[in-house]
Amino acid sequence: MPTLAYNDPKTDLDAWAARLQISREAIEVYATSDVIDLHIDSFIWTRIFGYDLSKRHGGGLLGRHFYSHCDFPRAMEAGLTGGVWLITTNPFLPAKVRRNLFFKNLRRFEGEFAKHPDVFRVVRTTAQYREARAAGLHGVFLGVQGGNCLDYDLADFDRLDPQHVLRITLVHLSNSSLGTTSSPAARLGGNDGLTNKGREY
């Protein structure tokens, strides 16, 4: 397995505090706390452009806006003890294609974390997260951004490992068979709220 290259800031709290221009006491509180990012959307660039999550990236052309905002080394150097790492699927593809791509992407995403078993562990429950932390590992909660990746046949839920996927956001940035988005794209049409299929989902 390849070794994930990153600098652990917890090995020198004084230097970490100085770099952030905060007190040693503040960094001690942070370093001994659970720090969980609830929305890490980096995998979208992996599946579209081949963005290597195991490699440290800079701010990109847009200064970390829209892309290049997080990768594995920077997540660890930020002291994240856990995170909800998200999978998105192109909403404009046919439903069956979205379904097939989702399961392909899920396996691929899990494989990215499996490259570094000494750093990451996929978890779903609080107990599993605490076990991962006791082992010195980052707790990976897998999430799905946009439930329309699985709106082709709701029986496909039986294919999901119940120990892996934590949550699914029903509607993402576009209207779907499940309901109307709360984003500006809602103006493109559709009724407010969930559809009957969305409620069944």
What is the tens place of the pLDDT at every residue in 137-195?
999 999 999 899 999 999 998 898 877 899 999 888 788 888 888 877 656 665 678 88
Whichever domain contains 54, its CATH number is 3.20.20.140
Specify the higher pLDDT residue, 194 or 120. Answer: 120
Q: Confirm whether 175 is domain-assigned.
A: no
Q: Confirm whether 16 is domain-assigned.
A: no
Q: Confirm whether 185 is domain-assigned.
A: no
3-class SS of residue 163: coil
Identify the pLDDT of residue 188: 62
pLDDT tens digits, 7-21: 999 999 999 999 999
**Total domain count, the chain:** 1
pLDDT tens digits, 72-90: 999 999 999 999 999 998 8
Q: Confirm whether 61 is domain-assigned.
A: yes
C-beta of residue 26 within 8 angstroms of C-beta of residue 17: yes
Identify the pLDDT of residue 14: 97
Q: Confirm whether 26 is domain-assigned.
A: no
Lookup result for tokens 């109307």: 180
Q: Confirm whether 90 is domain-assigned.
A: yes
Q: In 3-state terms, the chain is what percent helix, strand and coil (to 5)?
A: 40, 15, 45
Strand residues in 36-192 grouped as ranges (E): 36-40, 82-88, 120-122, 138-145, 165-169
Identify the pLDDT of residue 98: 94
Q: Confirm whether 85 is domain-assigned.
A: yes
Round the average pLDDT of the chain to a whole number and report it: 89
Lookup result for tokens 């779903």: 124
Q: Confirm whether 124 is domain-assigned.
A: yes
Q: Which domain holds residue 55?
A: 34-169
Specify the higher pLDDT residue, 181 or 62. Answer: 181
Identify the pLDDT of residue 149: 92
Query: Kindly report the CA angle at 112 between 34 and 30, in degrees rounded to 5?
Result: 15
| Closest residue by Cα to residue 67 from 55, 51, 83, 88 | 51
